[in-house]
Amino acid sequence: MEVILREAVEKLGHPGDVVTVSPGFGRNYLLPRGIAYEATPGNLKRIAQEKGRLEAAENTRRDAAQELANKLEPISLTFSARVGEDGKLFGSVTSGDIAQQLEAQGVHIEKRMIDLHEPIRALGVYKVPIKLHADVKAEIKVWVIKG
C-alpha cells in the first residue's frame, strides 16, 4: 500500500514522502491518526501544494523537541528503593515512574516517549533515552539508590 506521509515517522520517512507500507500498518495506524494520506492522484496533487506548509510545521515541531531536549539533558533523577541482599530491587523503576518524577520537576513527558526497554531492577546509574521527535533524542541520568 502506498501512502503519503504528513508527519515524520521514524525509519519510514519525512512529510511529503510517498512510501510503501504494509496494508495493515497503513489502514490501522497511519490513516486513522492522520499521519498519512492514501497515495491517490488527487492526494498527490494536494500534498504537492501542502508540502511547504508541512515542512514548516515539521521544522517547528523539531525545534520545540530540540529545545525540550536541551532542557532535559542536565536533569538527573534519583529513586530510592528497598533492596534485597544481592542488590536487586523489590519491585522496579518503570518508564511511568520516570515520567511521574519528571512531571514533578515541571517537565511534561509522556511515558511512551521514554525508551526504557525493560524496567530497572538493580541499583546503579542508568542513562535513559527519551524520543522527543523522529530526529531528536535526549538522555537523562537515573540514579537508583538504596532507600
Q: Where are the alpha helices (DSSP H) in 15-136?
A: 23-25, 41-72, 95-104
Q: If you classify domain 74-146 with CATH, what class do you get?
A: alpha beta
C-alpha cell at 25: 500498518
| Blockwise average pLDDT, block size 10, the chain, 147 residues | 88 88 94 91 83 83 92 91 83 92 91 90 92 90 89
For 40, 102, 122, 142, the CA distances from 99, given in Å and listed in that order, are 40, 5, 19, 12
The 10s digit of each residue's pLDDT in 84-101 is 877 788 888 999 999 999
What is the architecture, at CATH level 2, of domain 2-70? 3-Layer(aba) Sandwich (3.40)
Is the pTM higher than 0.75? The answer reads: no
Beta bridge mates, 141: 76, 127
* Chain region(s) in the chain for CATH 3.40.5.10: 2-70
* Chain region(s) in the chain for CATH 3.10.430.100: 74-146
